Amino acid sequence: MSINYQQIVMQEELRQYEQEYNVEIKCLIEREALGTAGPIGLAAPHLLEDNKDGLFFVLNSDIVCHYEFDKMIERHQQHQGVATLCVKEVEDPSKFGVVVANESGQ
């Protein structure tokens, strides 16, 4: 997880989640805010570390979701894509950005 805002508070919270769910969460500290996609570059060396399948999720941490990630992985593997996006149609995309796709979703 890339952290810029309230680093100490975030790390303390994440340590609790590590213990509760028995998972490892790597924290990467942004010395300056890198924007929405900037932290991916910061995390790049860690994304494939000990990751034999080469699969990972990129999420904005300020978004709470209940996606079926296992089904996303399954679909990604079936279609052998470079990337799989999970998007939601919204009334005013100016706050979020736009994804342009053809009829088959590509």
Q: Is the pLDDT of residue 74 over 70?
A: yes
Instruction: Tell me the β-bridge partners of 28.
Output: 2
Average of per-residue pLDDT across 41-57: 82
Strands 28-29, 2-3: pairing is parallel
Task: For residues 42-65, give the mean pLDDT.
Answer: 78
**Percent of the chain at pLDDT exceeding 70:** 95
Helices (DSSP H) in the chain: which residue ranges? 7-21, 38-47, 69-79
Cβ(55)–Cβ(73) below 8 Å = yes
33-56 average pLDDT score: 81
Mean pLDDT of 83-91: 85
Interatomic CA distance for residues 104 and 50, integer angstroms = 33
Q: What is the pTM of this model?
A: 0.61
